[in-house]
Amino acid sequence: MAGTCVVGLQWGDEAKGKIVDLLGDQFDYVVRYNGGANAGHTVVANGKTFKLSLLPTGVIRPNVTSVIGNGVVVYPPRFLEEVDQLAKGGLDVSRSLVLSDHAHVIFPYHMEEERLAESGSDGKIGTTGRGIGPCYQDKVGRRFGVRVGELLRPDHLRERLAQIVPFKNRLMVAFANGHAAGLKPFEPNAIADEYLSYAAVLKPYVTDTSRMLQEAIRADKRVLFEAAQGSLLDVDHGTYPYVTSSSSLPSGIWGGSGLPAKHVTRIIGVVKAYTTRVGRGPFPTELDDGPEGVGERIRKVGREYGTVTGRPRRCGWFDAMAVRYTATLAGADEITIMLLDVLSGLPELKMCVAYEIDGERRTHFPSDAYDLERCKPVYETISGWQEDITTARKLSDLPSAARRYVDRVRELVGLPVSVVSVGPDRDQTIRV
Ligand code: IMP
CA of 297 to the centre of ligand 1 (A): 23
Q: What is the pLDDT of residues 259-268, one digit of tens each?
A: 999 999 999 9
Distance in angstroms (rounded) separating the CA atoms of residues 417 and 295? 25
Closest to 67 measured CA to CA, from 276, 262, 207: 207
Cβ 327 vs Cβ 336: under 8 Å: no
For residue 284, the model assigns a pLDDT of: 97
For residue 62, the model assigns a pLDDT of: 82
Q: Is 127's C-beta closer than 6 angstroms to any atom of ligand 1?
A: yes
Give the residues of the chain that fall short of pLDDT 50. Answer: none
Q: What is the pLDDT of residues 374-402, one digit of tens each?
A: 999 999 999 999 999 999 999 999 999 99
For residue 122, the model assigns a pLDDT of: 74
Annotation says 41 is catalytic = yes
For residue 274, the model assigns a pLDDT of: 98
CA of 130 to the centre of ligand 1 (A): 10
Q: What is the pTM of this model?
A: 0.95
CA of 129 to the centre of ligand 1 (A): 9
Residues in the chain: 432
For residue 180, the model assigns a pLDDT of: 66
Cβ 3 vs Cβ 268: under 8 Å: no
Cβ 36 vs Cβ 299: under 8 Å: no
For residue 1, the model assigns a pLDDT of: 59
